[in-house]
């Protein structure tokens, strides 16, 4: 069997935390092929999955999710079979496109690095984004976890419905002060997609044995136009700590980038298996903010750059869908 499978996808992208914002993509089932002797209808927009050689499978039409570092903003791609995962029957293509990057990142940050346990407290920055919403849902799978989530005030209701214990508007309040009012000793885990001075703030918020896990540099993203001064300021304020300081503080600093785990097939596949089990149990469900056709990629990007989204922004081929 082939070591690769051809995938007709709608251009899945990476998460906005570890790279500049990208919209992810979804596709729909392939329509039936006309039988012999019938006139073939004009081909519909390409929105299906054509697969070969997936484990014990050798057939076209399996519904799969694709985990690929780049090159997914197109209708057709070829990817290694090890980077594809069979979808549960109940899962939509939109949910599949929103699941892998977001939930793998959130899971590994919280459980593999963070060692999340009952009674812990977690600070989730950008809690209304794709990874943020995934992290909050995963926190709910552990008993008695307190979640502090930062987001604009207009998103607080959605965050609380998703499981955030304390929503903080970072526009109007200092999140460090707000957390210290509720938890004077700080938190056990800080999920840091921001970088710059916020990494230092997160480190100083940690309880003994606490961990800050940095997985992005969103503070480098200054809007649709490049601001070199802001970039330089963020880079200059990037957090640094020595091994001796870590020893004395009983804290840990970790770094995570899913893109650099391409060769860790067994590790990542194990995480996906656990996530699919949670999905099948109804304990996690990707939150889709909006779905855009390829022709409106600029509008999709603007949705994220202006921080209007709650959950994942997706790109699909074909006509626009109602949001």
The rounded distance, in Å, linking the Cα atoms of 222 and 228 is: 9
pLDDT at 58 over 60: no
Query: Please, what is the Cα angle at 307 between 68 and 149, to 5 degrees?
Result: 90
Instruction: Please give the C-alpha separations between residue 308 and each of 154, 256, 298, 301, in angstroms, as whole numbers.
Output: 9, 26, 14, 10
The rounded distance, in Å, linking the Cα atoms of 120 and 219 is: 27
- 207, with CB counted inside 10 A (0-12, 13-18, 19+), is middle
Token digits of residue 305: 């750059």
Confidence label for 222 from pLDDT (cuts 50, 70 and 90) = low
- 217, with CB counted inside 10 A (0-12, 13-18, 19+), is buried
Residue 242's contacts (CB-CB under 8 Å, 6 or more residues apart) are none
| 30 within 8 A of 37, measured Cβ to Cβ | no
Helix crossing, 130-139 with 93-107: angle to 10°?
Answer: 70
pLDDT at 67 over 60: yes
Give the model's pLDDT for residue 221: 66
The rounded distance, in Å, linking the Cα atoms of 107 and 123 is: 14
Residue 180's contacts (CB-CB under 8 Å, 6 or more residues apart) are 186, 205
Percent of the residues in the chain that have a pLDDT greater than 70, as a whole number: 75
Q: Where are the domains of the chain?
A: 114-255
Instruction: Please give the C-alpha separations between residue 146 and each of 34, 124, 167, 205, in angstroms, as whole numbers.
Output: 55, 11, 11, 14
Considering the segment(s) 114-255 as one domain, its CATH architecture is 3-Layer(aba) Sandwich (3.40)
Give the model's pLDDT for residue 77: 81
* pLDDT tens figures, 27-44: 433 333 344 444 444 433
The mean pLDDT value for 145-170 works out to 96
Q: Which residue has the tokens 């790279």?
A: 19
Strand ranges (E), the chain: 4-8, 24-25, 64-66, 76-80, 84-86, 121-124, 146-150, 166-168, 187-192, 206-214, 252-255, 288-293, 312-316
* pLDDT tens figures, 71-128: 777 778 888 888 899 999 999 999 999 999 999 999 999 999 999 999 999 999 999 9
| 71 within 8 A of 53, measured Cβ to Cβ | no
Give the model's pLDDT for residue 132: 96
Indicate the SS3 state at residue 268: helix
Instruction: Please give the C-alpha separations between residue 205 and each of 11, 112, 201, in angstroms, as whole numbers.
Output: 38, 20, 6
Instruction: Please give the C-alpha separations between residue 108 and each of 164, 270, 321, in angstroms, as whole numbers.
Output: 19, 11, 32
């Amino acid at each position: 069997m082939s070591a690769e499978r051809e995938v007709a996808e709608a251009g899945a992208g990476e998460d906005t935390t570890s790279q500049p914002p990208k919209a992810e993509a979804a596709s729909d089932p392939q329509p039936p092929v006309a039988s012999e002797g019938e006139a073939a209808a004009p081909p519909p927009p390409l929105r299906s999955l054509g697969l070969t050689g997936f484990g014990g499978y050798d057939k076209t039409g399996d519904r799969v999710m694709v985990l690929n570092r780049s090159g997914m903003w197109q209708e057709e791609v070829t990817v290694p079979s090890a980077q594809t995962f069979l979808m549960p029957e109940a899962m939509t293509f939109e949910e599949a496109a929103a699941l892998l990057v977001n939930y793998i990142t959130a899971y590994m940050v919280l459980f593999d690095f963070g060692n999340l346990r009952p009674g812990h407290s977690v600070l989730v920055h950008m809690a209304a984004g794709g990874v943020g919403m995934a992290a909050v849902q995963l926190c709910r799978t552990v008993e008695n976890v307190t979640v502090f989530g930062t987001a604009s005030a207009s998103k607080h209701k959605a965050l609380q419905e998703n499981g955030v214990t304390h929503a903080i508007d970072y526009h109007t309040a200092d999140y460090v002060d707000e957390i210290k009012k509720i938890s004077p000793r700080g938190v056990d885990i800080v999920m840091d997609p921001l970088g710059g001075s916020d990494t230092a703030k997160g480190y100083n918020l940690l309880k003994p044995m606490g961990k800050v896990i940095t997985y992005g540099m969103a503070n480098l993203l200054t809007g649709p136009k490049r601001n070199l001064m802001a970039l330089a300021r963020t880079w200059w304020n990037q957090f640094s700590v020595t091994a001796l300081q870590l020893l004395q503080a009983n804290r840990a600093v970790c770094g995570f980038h899913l893109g650099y785990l391409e060769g860790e097939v067994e590790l990542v596949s194990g995480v996906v298996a656990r996530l699919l089990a949670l999905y099948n149990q109804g304990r996690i469900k990707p939150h889709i903010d909006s779905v855009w056709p390829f022709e409106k990629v600029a509008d999709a990007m603007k949705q994220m750059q202006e921080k209007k989204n709650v959950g994942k922004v997706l790109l699909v081929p074909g006509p626009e869908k109602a949001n």
